[in-house]
Homo-oligomer: A and B are copies of this chain.
Amino acid sequence: MSIIFSKGCEYGLQAVLYISTLERGRRILIKEIAAKLQIPVHFLAKILQQLSQKGILKSYKGSKGGFVLGRSPEEIRLIDIVNALDGMSIFTECILGFPGCSTEHPCPVHDRWGKIRTEAFEMLADETIADVKEKSISKIASLNMDS
């Protein structure tokens, strides 16, 4: 079971981070990304499709086709990717699953969880893929070391 994000969202984040480590403008194929990140190709295709529709990626069909970033890496925040794939409900729903959790009718951990959730949101909202590029490069590099 994945925490917080759906599997598709995890894959999408990984894929965009991966693309961001490539030389600017280089078109990369779904199957290359899938192979590198060990993600099912067809499933990844669906996710990249959604990201293209949202403008986070740009796709090219045909030979010499592939994917590139849809805008400059400084303008792609992690939250944009999350929002495109999973939406924003994680930032509004009650962590205990209580219905109608709000300031008027807070759940027992409403305030404390609210703070944590806000920090998580802020992390995703102020980190762009440009900010984490170096870290992405080393993480990606570590991936296929054993296999």
Contacts and interface: CB of A to CB of B under 8 A. Distances in A.
Contact of A13 (B96, B127, B132): B96
A89 B1 contact: yes
A12 B115 CA distance: 23
Contacts of A105: 138-139, 142
Given A108-B136, A123-B109, A123-B112, A99 B3 contact: no
A99 B143 contact: yes
Copies of this chain, count: 2
Contact of A113 (B97, B109, B123): B123
Nearest to A6: B1
A140 to B, nearest CB: 9
Interface in A95-131: 95-101, 104-110, 112-113, 115-116, 119-120, 123, 127
A132 B106 CA distance: 12
Contacts of A108: 17, 127, 132, 135-136, 139
Interface of A: 1-7, 10-11, 13-14, 17, 38, 78, 89-90, 93, 95-101, 104-110, 112-113, 115-116, 119-120, 123, 127, 132, 135-136, 138-139, 142-143
